[in-house]
Amino acid sequence: MSHNQAVEPAQTAQAITEGRTALGIELGSTRIKAALITEDGTVIATGGHDWENQFVDRLWTYSEDAIWSGLQACYADLATNVQQAYGVPLRTIGAIGFSAMMHGYLAFNQAGQLLVPFRTWRNTNTGPAAAELSALFHFNIPLRWSIAHLYQAILNEEPHVKDVAYITTLAGYVHWKLTGAKVVGADDASGMFPIDSTTKQFNRTMLNQFDELVAPRQLGWRVADVLPQVLVAGQPAGGLTPDGARLLDPSGSLQPGIPCAPPEGDAGTGMTATNSVAPRTGNTSAGTSIFTMVVLEHELTEVHHEVDMVVTPSGDPVAMVHCNNGASELGEWGELFGQFAAALGAEAGPGQVFEALFKASLQAEPDAGGLLAYNYLAGEPITGTEEGRPLFVRTPDSRMNLANFMRAQLYAAFGTLKLGMDVLNQEGVRLDAMFGHGGIFKTEGVAQRYLAAALGTPVTVGQAAGEGGAWGMALLAAFLVRPDQQQSLPEWLAQRIFTGAGFTTLDPVPDDVAGFAVFMDRYRDGLAIERAAIAAS
């Protein structure tokens, strides 16, 4: 992959000074990441900032202060790293793009003030709204979609609803404040309200249906008027204003006027970062949540509650299997084992701990020795669980050892995903290539192997598996200012970015496939235990 080629510091410094670069910043669930790249996709500097959501009034949120202080800290880290590595300040950039976790609800009044605290994708309080809209549209509206949050607020008769003038996503909010443009990229938009893949805009019929549904409530606004404008990859989305430049970089070094790409969701950046934007390609992104995107050759024949219909950054149809719970529970166990190592007087950083635990799982029995785990820190719509209860369960005759324990935890990370992907298999959806990305794939050949077993298809991981969405967003920013404006996103990625080596592909191991199937039988049967735990506490 060209983004991992060695770079010449003097040439890179000149490219930075002349603005022959692109920057992607992604606000993930637990970390805000920045990736600065050259025109061929090579990463030349990164920045980061850790943050965490809060559970306030029984809703998951991040404060406005946390969003901006986190974004500024991430950018400052990047700028410091550029100065240290290349000896030049970061004053201008060829193009910038902002991405973030999708969905959720950020509602503003006419004066641009936030009406209620940001409600993230993680909230599952929108069941009645999602069910009613899914039936009305004959289209699966997941609990986390923005329109479900908006309609649930209407159903709850929340006082702020009459004052709504604009709703957007986290990426859309950041972009709006930095550029003044009320726009979102096509993929991010498709997690707000259904997209018509022929027009690449919000579905006009469904917009009208929604307005008719809420008309008796006399809200004083139409839904199309409070949604952002939809843009596809490569379309201009405004530029960094003087106020925006100071907001991102309070030091005053960054210059205004930098063109900005349409803000995107983390699904769209994941598709881009894995070159999974053409039909019969797919990618699995594993972080706090885990989801698989499959670019379709044709629409699905039926509506499935396990499958969300979204689009690529270019507006092409995609089936998305989204699970609220991903690698967070693995992180909890990693921290516990790290504390145990420290108690023994062993010096081990988180990376060493995870690598040891992941590699131990390779010695396990294929079905994880009869052990069972659920990684449910939050509710999980695919399995109909409204709250999270992380569980580890075993029978007296199961084989409890470190290898089996860790394989059960890793299998559990893909358990709900497997249930959703089975639905696509029944629809006849075919995959030529599945790409994995996210921190869970950093330990070579472990999570990648188990995902191949779960899906029964080869899984490819690139050397930038841990870089994820920030690099994908940087690519979309670079695509905005590409020399050949007629080149499509799939063409540009294939011909310009993904031209070298740097991939490893693992085929499913038959014993793993059989073992994962046994584990999944146990997983399905054990969901009754999960539901009982929720009911009991």
Q: What is the pLDDT of residue 74?
A: 98
Calculate mean pLDDT across residues 421-437. 89
Q: How many residues does the chain have?
A: 537
Cα 309–chain centre separation: 15
Share of the chain above pLDDT 90, in %: 84
Q: What is the pLDDT of residue 15?
A: 96
Q: What is the pLDDT of residue 16?
A: 97
Q: What is the pLDDT of residue 1?
A: 43
Share of the chain above pLDDT 70, in %: 97
- Pairwise CA distance, residues 182 & 228, whole Å: 5
Cβ contact 392:373 at 8 Å? yes
Q: What is the pLDDT of residue 502?
A: 74
Q: What is the pLDDT of residue 501?
A: 58
Domain boundaries, the chain: 328-418+521-536
Calculate mean pLDDT across residues 74-100. 98
Instruction: Indicate the range of 86-90, 208-212, 397-401, 499-503 predicted with least confidence.
Output: 499-503
Calculate mean pLDDT across residues 132-153. 96
Residue from 505, 354, 349, 373 nearest 440 by CA: 354
Confidence of residue 407 (pLDDT cuts 50, 70, 90): very high
3-state secondary structure 96-135: EEEEECCCCEEEECCCCCECCCCECCCCCCCHHHHHHHHH
Q: Which of 172-186, 262-276, 494-508 has the highest mean pLDDT?
A: 172-186
pLDDT per residue over 324-383, tens digit each?
999 999 999 999 999 999 999 998 999 999 999 999 999 999 999 999 999 999 999 899
Q: What is the pLDDT of residue 279?
A: 86
Q: What is the pLDDT of residue 4?
A: 44
pLDDT per residue over 20-79, tens digit each?
999 999 999 999 999 999 998 999 999 999 999 999 998 999 999 999 999 999 999 999
Confidence of residue 8 (pLDDT cuts 50, 70, 90): confident
- Pairwise CA distance, residues 382 & 293, whole Å: 15
Q: Which pTM does this prediction carry?
A: 0.80
The torsion defined by the Cα of 144, 147, 150 and 153, in degrees rounded to 10, comes to -60
